[in-house]
Amino acid sequence: MKKFFSLKSFTIILLALGMASCSQAPTAEPIDIVYGPIDQVYEIPETEGQIYYVSPDGDAAAEGLSLEAPTSIESAIAKVVTGDVIIMREGVYRTGNLFFNQGITIQPYKDEKPVLNGTLIADNWQQDADSLWFTQWDYLFPGQPEDWWVRERNEEFTPLHRFNNDVVFIDGQYLQSAGSKAELNEGTFFVDYENSLIYIGANPEGKTVEISAFRKAIHRVTGEVHGKLSDGRGPILKGLTITQYPDTMVHIDGYYPQGISSESEHGKDVVGTVFENCSFTKSMRIGVFAIGDSMQMRSCLIEDSNTEGLYIVASSDVLLERNIFGKNNIEKWTGFFPSAVKIFNQTHRVVCRENLITNNPNSNGLWYDVGNEDGVFVNNRVENVGSPAEADPDKIIWSSFNGFFFEISDGVLVAGNVFVNNDQGLLILNSSNAEIYNNTFVNSTAGFGRNDRGDEKDHFGWHITTGPDVDSRENHVFVNNLMIQTMPLGRPMLNVWQPAFMCERLSEPTLKQLNNNVYLSQQAEHTAPLIVWSPFDNEECSGKIFATEEITALYPEFESNSFFYKGYEGVLLLEDEKVSAEFEGHKYAAEIPDYVKTAAGWPLDDKTPFIGAK
């Protein structure tokens, strides 16, 4: 069975993704983390290519070679070749479907703030015989659910009209779709596709009404476009705001495997895409979809998306750093597996470092889904994903939403993260070699699960074949974690699960190391189990553990140096849930492996172990 990370291999990854990208690599000294876009003054970059200047009212016939005579962005996009730069002047560009296939840079002029907006203003409203307001609209985007969406189970909660991609904004606030004129109210709109009419329930007088008119903002394609073949290089996008598009706002195309694919076969069409200090907001589908190796996203904001905020597919050596990912699944779709960040389909070495994943009540947080290898998730803050108060205690591992989710994949390091008030903080499902070190969980449970999915193909076809097989979902580590409950959740802090019918087949634990963890309840009467454990010698193959000594009695090497504080009132957390150095539970910590310290940026020469995130 493979050993996860060595210090040498992880150092190579950090050099490739951090230092070489001019990013600030992890340091030993504590630093203030700033999440999301940072105001910048952008200098005109030095380039061997051409620099084009564009403005919202630029002349499409102008060459755009000077600041005084800008062209339109559509004209510039058609001209650019490898190494060219587009400088955007301030203002709102109501445009979209900007197709190109060259490695170019798009950035603002100095500290200006250009905005790409996928709507047009609707100002020609009439009233029908029922006094409903309507307008003729020629830019419509009807849609439908994916073929795997289970209609009979979900249509009651997610009516089919939700899958249309049209959207209406009144004074910047999006409206929900309605299924008929009879359902209209001030917060909804209805589309009559047969007659190309849009109805709203609110009076538009004195308001700014915007309606979707362009499907995507930017689309980096791999085929021929504007008379040019692809150069294989990804774009560099800096300082842009992209908002109010009905579909994927930014799309970086590439080969999308539909079965088992080796690392050498995918991620090579568009390499080196960079997003920096950008905002992607109010997308009715996906904020950013990207395929391609060596992608970097740094100091960006993605929020108010629907299915996924950021969707990475079949890519290697990707870095996500100091971004904000929030408010995904704004239309509250059910049966669609939403996630603020989805890392999907045989990625390798995707590093997520120092990000803020926040306010996703109807969505998962970050999800490595099917066939991913050697992920790294360090020093992130994950808060308010789902709700711990609303989680169903009977579902245990099958919570609605997970802050961090690793499924049907092999190899991930999760260290130094803070999980606060999540439905379920962490779930490792049908995977192998997950190492969970030094995280702080506040009202956020952790779970490891495995079942027989994969013995036969299911409705997702080849997906299940990309990860470890049913008998290899093991070798997990859970060490030096701090599990805190400040409220009665009615469910275990740690759940290790498998179905009863697999107890004989999978008779050994899915974890290979479970120790040096501190469980802490601030409730004097803590009645829920500390741990629910499987395999267990009973008919259900599942046992309730109320003290760490009970799991040690079953497996002497497990939780032998862990502790459960009940009704704890001592020194614990500082600002932002940092664990106080005075917390007495640190005495239960084990020495931290060097490769974990390297990943998290903790000094190698500090041999003092600690509990929870630093």
Adjacency order of strands within the sheet including 168-170: 119-121, 209-212, 168-170, 173-174
Q: Under a CB-based contact definition with an 8 Å cutoff, are residues 232 and 223 in contact?
A: no
- The DSSP secondary-structure symbol of 382 reads E
Distances (CA, A) of 60 to 52, 69, 73, 90, 121: 12, 10, 8, 17, 21
Residue 12 has pLDDT above 60, yes or no: no
- For residues 422 and 242, give the distance between their C-alpha atoms in angstroms, rounded to a whole number: 29
CB 442 within 8 A of CB 419: yes
**Beta-sheet strands, E only, within 304-430:** 308-313, 316-321, 324-326, 339-344, 348-353, 356-360, 364-369, 373-378, 381-385, 402-407, 410-415, 418-420, 424-429
Report which of 368, 351, 489, 500 is spatially closest to residue 427, judged by C-alpha positions: 368
3-state secondary structure of 200: strand
DSSP secondary-structure letter at 451?
-
> Quick one: which H or E segment has residue 76?
helix 73-79
For the chain, give every domain's residue range. 1-32+386-614, 35-118+214-369, 125-211
- pLDDT for 20-59, tens place per residue? 343 333 334 456 899 999 999 999 999 999 999 999 999 9
In the chain, % of residues over pLDDT 70:
94
* Exposure string for 420-437, b = 16+ CB within 10 A, e = fewer: bbbbbbbbbbbbbbbbbb
Take residue 3 and report the two structure tokens written for it: 């050993």
The stretch 541-562 carries a mean pLDDT of 97
**Per-residue pLDDT tens for 248-258?**
999 999 999 99
Question: pLDDT (tens digit, 9 = 90+) per residue, 348-405?
Answer: 999 999 999 999 999 999 999 999 999 999 999 999 999 887 666 666 667 789 999 9
pLDDT tens string 420-432: 999 999 999 999 9
Q: Residues near 493 by Cβ (< 8 Å), separated by ≥ 6?
A: 441, 445, 446, 483, 485, 519, 530, 531
Per-residue tokens: 360: 């996703």
Contact 558, 526 (CB under 8 A): no
User: Could you report the per-residue pLDDT of 256-310, keeping only the tens digit for each?
Assistant: 999 999 999 999 999 999 999 999 999 999 999 999 999 999 999 999 999 999 9
Mean pLDDT of the chain: 93
Indicate the residue type of 177: S
Mean pLDDT of all residues in 220-224: 98
Q: Which fold has domain 35-118+214-369?
A: Pectate Lyase C-like (2.160.20)
**What are the contacts of 73-77 at 24+ separation with CB within 8 A?**
73/98, 74/98, 76/52, 77/226
Which candidate, 274, 270, 213, places its Cα nearest to that of 238? 274
Return left, alpha or beta for 329; rule: phi > 0 is left, psi -120 to 50 is alpha, else beta: left
DSSP for 85-108 reads EEEEPSEEEE---EEE-S--EEEE
Give the pLDDT score at 172. Answer: 96
